Amino acid sequence: APSAPQHALAKKRPADYYARLSSNENPFGPAASAKKALKAAIDDAFLYPRHYRDQLVETIAKVEGVDKSYILLGAGSSELLHAAARVYGGKSTKVLSADPTYFSLVRSAESLGAEWVKVPLTKELDHNLGAMEDKVSKDISLLYLVNPNNPTGKIMTGTEIRSFCDLVSDKVPVFVDEAYIDYMDDPAGSTTVECVRNGKNIIVAKTFSKVHAFAGLRVGYCIAQPDVIKALSAEGPRNTLTGPSMAAAAASLTDAEFLKYSVKKNEEGKQFVYSELKRLGFEYVPSHTNFILFPIGMDGAEFQKKMMANQVSIKTALIDGQQYCRVSMGTLDDLGMFVDAFKKVHTHKLN
Ligand code: PLP
């Protein structure tokens, strides 16, 4: 892939520009309020950023309705997923998750010696909660759920996931990755933070990388019982977040107007891709995230290579023998490039 920096919103694009629709980034942000806070905090860059950390933790505590002792920050949620793998993974442990899901935590745990216990998604590509419950035993050291799920874009409703978590977390710790929760219709009604507030042994991770458009700034956090936060903290981030990024995150978190804008731009992209896929006779999985999964009916590696040859980067997934494309939402220009490339690459089915 070309290595030039990408400028999805730039008027003039470099010759080797490609539409980067493979990492579920958000080309419309960050918020003006976040950029202002980011720039202002640069003057303080010589200071260890205690002040900005306290300010962000306080803001999160208010927004999530928990005490500060329930919060741990990470340089992106990846750092917290990895910390959880270190606390709960390792030799002779077992980590349970759906297959497929976002595999970062599972892979970290495996590399530390854990065994992955997988439960395939249902035919409708949903988490199979019944089958997961059957696998829950004392042997399982961590159950990992992603809601909405990546790469499917499908959801468990708030009621569904909370009652499941309430039930199983009496037996095993549960990690709920809510990276895409802000794209759901009712994020506040869909989160499992309420279970943590009710004393359950659940770790809820959130990230600023998606709706807040901070993928390059690296800010995430998790909410869990204070003793779990201590354990994660011992295995996790060591002062890894920068002052400017924490200042920006605190501004973005309370910028309701921006969040609305960000979700709206994402929805415009989804409606465009849905209508184009429909027109071309392709089915898709209606998405509650900033990406869309759809079956391509051809080899995934070949598809990905040919799309890239047309300057479009996407990801593919093989689920239950079926090849899918996962396309991240981008600007309408980038999504137009995606549709044009798709028409060229998929000539054998379209003709
Ligand atoms: N969790 C899920 C479900 C993701 O899809 C991603 C990134 O795509 C992450 C976590 C990690 O993101 P970050 O480390 O930027 O917070």
Q: What is the ipTM of this complex?
A: 0.99
pLDDT band with cut points at 50, 70 and 90 for residue 1: very low
Residue 36, both tokens:
């202002």
Q: Percent of the chain, pLDDT > 90?
A: 92
10 Å CB burial of residue 134 (0-12, 13-18, 19+) is exposed
Q: What is the mean pLDDT of residues 208-224?
A: 98
In this model, does residue 12 exceed pLDDT 80? no
pLDDT band at 13 (very low <50, low <70, confident <90, very high): confident
Pocket test residue of 144, 207, 291 for ligand 1, highest count of atoms within 8 A of CB:
207
C-beta of 149 in contact with ligand 1 (< 6 A): no
* 2 has a pLDDT exceeding 60: no
Q: Residue with the nearest Cα to atom 6 of ligand 1? A: 179
| Structural tokens at position 342 | 């798709």
pLDDT of residue 349: 57
Q: What is the band of 325 on the pLDDT scale with cuts at 50, 70, 90?
A: very high
Q: Give the pLDDT confidence score for residue 6 in this predicted structure.
A: 57
User: Ligand 1 in contact with 148 (CB < 6 A)?
Assistant: no
Q: Is 215 in the pocket of ligand 1 (CB under 6 A)?
A: yes
Beta carbon of 78 within 6 Å of any ligand 1 atom: yes
> Under 8 Å CB-to-CB from 249, ≥6 apart: which residues?
34, 56, 208, 212, 214, 217, 219
19-29+257-350: CATH, from 3.30.70.1430, 3.30.379.10, 3.90.400.10, 3.90.1150.10: 3.90.1150.10
Cβ of 6 closer than 6 Å to ligand 1, yes or no, is no
Provide φ and ψ at 2, rounded to 5°. Answer: -60, 150
> For the purposes of burial, counting CB atoms within 10 Å of the CB of 67, is it exposed (0-12), middle (13-18) or buried (19 or more)?
exposed
Cα(73) to centroid of ligand 1, in Å?
14
343: number of Cβ within 10 Å: 13
One-letter amino acid at 321 equals G
Domains 19-29+257-350 and 32-253 in one fold: no
pLDDT in tens, 129-162: 999 999 999 999 999 999 999 999 999 999 999 9
Kindly report, residue by residue over 18-33, the tens digit of the pLDDT: 999 999 999 998 999 9
What's the CA gap between 252 and 246, in Å, rounded?
10
What pLDDT shows up at residue 109?
98
Across the chain, what does the average pLDDT equal? 95
Question: What spacing in Å lies between the alpha carbon of 205 and ligand 1's midpoint?
Answer: 9
Quick: pLDDT tens for 271-305: 999 999 999 999 999 999 999 999 999 999 999 99
Residue 350 pLDDT > 70: no
The CATH number of the domain covering residues in 32-253: 3.40.640.10
Question: What pTM was estimated for this model as a whole?
Answer: 0.96
Neighbours of 237 (CB within 10 A): 18
Cβ of residue 179 lying under 6 Å from some atom of ligand 1: yes
Pocket lining: 151 vs ligand 1, CB cutoff 6 Å: no
User: Which among 146, 152, 198, 208 is positioned nearest to 174, based on CA atoms?
Assistant: 146
Does the beta carbon of 290 sit less than 6 angstroms from any atom of ligand 1?
Answer: no
Ligand 1 touching residue 146 (CB < 6 A): yes
Confidence of residue 177 (pLDDT cuts 50, 70, 90): very high
Ligand 1 mean position to 79 CA, how many Å?
10
Measured in whole angstroms, the distance separating CA 170 from the mean position of its chain's CA atoms is 26
Please report, for the chain, the start and end positions of each structural domain, with discontinuous segments joined by +: 19-29+257-350, 32-253
